[in-house]
Structure 1
């Protein structure tokens, strides 16, 4: 099939490009290179240096005629979203709307959307957190990702555009940018190689769900052709209550009329958590880095970030149910691979 990958020169997107080519698909990439790099791209992929807000998308879709769009292009910084929420919304919401409108005009049959877990859920009493909790985003970035999920719902209902939203936990791996507001794994890898003291925000007891990019890519590939569940068994991210009589407490209840409407419209998009279901504290992450680096890494504790989540870990049972997917890379193995990748490219200060 023909797959157009937005943000395909970036960290996760470029790995999706590689896997799609390896699977025999024809691949096109749209990326404005604001954070991505041409060095990440396989030359077999067609490439357009275009912003997703641009009207040039129409010409690209006319020429490439994608069956599926894998949408990873985004403003990715939570901090930047708080500093300039209008810009965040312009890229993440209006840019995606531009892409969805072009998709409808050009007969795209499915959109796979890279969403977020922690930024949408916020602090929750239910940990590991399932898809059916009431979302409590506290950043414009999280609000924008949730808004896009709702637009996917609307476009599926209005136009029959199939959609799957993958809510990632904390993704790490090769090609992650260690500068700016990057993932802590990339920051620590670079810091260790430069011989710097690592800084842990707060007491380091805060936990995250670290998932390898290889596992995330596998979820994206399975999402290309996942089976369509019945309306009754879909998770509706609009719903805020649970059918206590259901065998699976995460299957949302619907009124009969709502079920009929969903059958006609194809049901709400699948919204699936993509993580490991295992939480790791930052202190434990430092300990693992000492093991994989083979040396005593110096570490200090700085000030806690205001509003930082204490615990964030995803319940991924629905991804296993609908995609047949679960994470298989244990954290120590994934960290070792990632650190080795950074070490192989380190050229000194």
Structure 2
């Protein structure tokens, strides 16, 4: 599927972040003509040779210039993380939801053929009525972040309906893997590993029985390439592992990978925006794109730990 992107001009919005870095590497390997847009990349040496536009999503003239001649846009750009969205919903609405609407408009005006928008499978559904969560499950987010992701999804669907823009929404599970910084307030796997490597107790919210679906970022990048290259994919698709793991299980697995025993765990108060369980049904994306996650969970943890150890990251509280 990725061969279909060979020679295709692709713009990655948010290319310098965790997911963007991995996506740009995958696009370059597939032969795409890659351009990055966003703030200065966190790991510039990890990016392939590519054009780069240093600007924020609010710099509309810069974005319009970057879009010129682009066929496929990957929209990963956002100004906040879930905790920040809870602290300032109005600012998050302005940066993420309203910003996404501007992006979609400029894409239409620039003649972009397809947009792949990365949404949040972990937040848009809210409290599950049945598991695993399929794409037709009701969307009742209980977090500001989820509400704004869903709002952006709906506006992209409107552009597709009215203007004929090809649009694919990928509702992603919790990604983890190389190039995820542990100090950004998002990414429990990176945070747990980094704190263990620093000799600090890990911190989890609530009793640790919250269940999440964790997806290796390389599998996510492959799904995004497949969504960009497919002839006529479904409009909205989940992308996850299809397997749920409690936070306590994640801690145990991280400790096993690191060779730790009886390491301390600190419990923080549960958060109102956290759903009790989230496991995605990935049947549709498998049928539509022939995609399936390939990274073994423990091997993914080992690779993440090796990358973090080599980076020697700063850890909050160290």
Q: TM-score, normalised by structure 1?
A: 0.84
1:245-289 deviations in Å (ceiling 9; x for gaps): xxxxxxxxxxxxxxxxxxxxxxxxx10001011000111111111
- Counterpart in the other structure of 1:58: 64
The partner residue of 2:24 within 14, 17, 30 is 17
Kindly state the Cα deviation for residue 307 of structure 1 after the two structures are TM-superposed. Answer: 4.2
2:52 aligned with 1:47, yes or no? yes
Kindly state the Cα deviation for residue 347 of structure 1 after the two structures are TM-superposed. Answer: 6.4
- Counterpart in the other structure of 1:222: 226
Q: Runs (4+) of structure 1 moved beyond 6 Å?
A: none
Counterpart CA distance in 2 for 1:189 and 1:40 is 23
Closer/same/farther in 2, CA of residues 307 and 347 from structure 1, 3 Å limit: closer
Kindly state the Cα deviation for residue 41 of structure 1 after the two structures are TM-superposed. Answer: 4.9
Give the match's secondary structure for 1:344. helix
Q: How does 1:222-261 map to 2 (within 5 A)?
A: 222-228=226-232
- Counterpart in the other structure of 1:77: 81
- Counterpart in the other structure of 1:271: 236
Alpha-carbon contact 2:24-2:48 (below 8 Å) kept: no
Counterpart CA distance in 2 for 1:215 and 1:7 is 18
1:136-183 deviations in Å (ceiling 9; x for gaps): 112221111111111111111121110000000111011111014121
Give the match's secondary structure for 2:124. helix
- Counterpart in the other structure of 1:280: 245
Counterpart CA distance in 1 for 2:27 and 2:33 is 8
Alpha-carbon contact 2:25-2:48 (below 8 Å) kept: no
2:117 aligned with 1:151, yes or no? no
- Counterpart in the other structure of 1:196: 200
- Counterpart in the other structure of 1:323: 289
Kindly state the Cα deviation for residue 59 of structure 1 after the two structures are TM-superposed. Answer: 2.1
Alpha-carbon contact 2:175-2:217 (below 8 Å) kept: yes
Q: TM-score, normalised by structure 2?
A: 0.92
Alpha-carbon contact 2:127-2:142 (below 8 Å) kept: no
Counterpart CA distance in 2 for 1:200 and 1:145 is 25
Kindly state the Cα deviation for residue 202 of structure 1 after the two structures are TM-superposed. Answer: 1.8
User: Which protein is bigger by CA-based radius of gyration?
Assistant: 1
Counterpart CA distance in 1 for 2:282 and 2:83 is 27
The partner residue of 1:7 within 14, 19, 29 is 14
Alpha-carbon contact 2:75-2:115 (below 8 Å) kept: yes
Give the match's secondary structure for 1:118. coil
Alpha-carbon contact 2:114-2:166 (below 8 Å) kept: yes
Give the match's secondary structure for 2:260. coil
Closer/same/farther in 2, CA of residues 86 and 47 from structure 1, 3 Å limit: same
1:23-48 deviations in Å (ceiling 9; x for gaps): 11111111024xx5252652511101
Counterpart CA distance in 1 for 2:79 and 2:291 is 27
1:38-66 deviations in Å (ceiling 9; x for gaps): 5265251110111122222122223xx11
Structure 1: gaps of 5 or more residues: 235-269
- Counterpart in the other structure of 1:259: none
Counterpart CA distance in 1 for 2:173 and 2:267 is 24
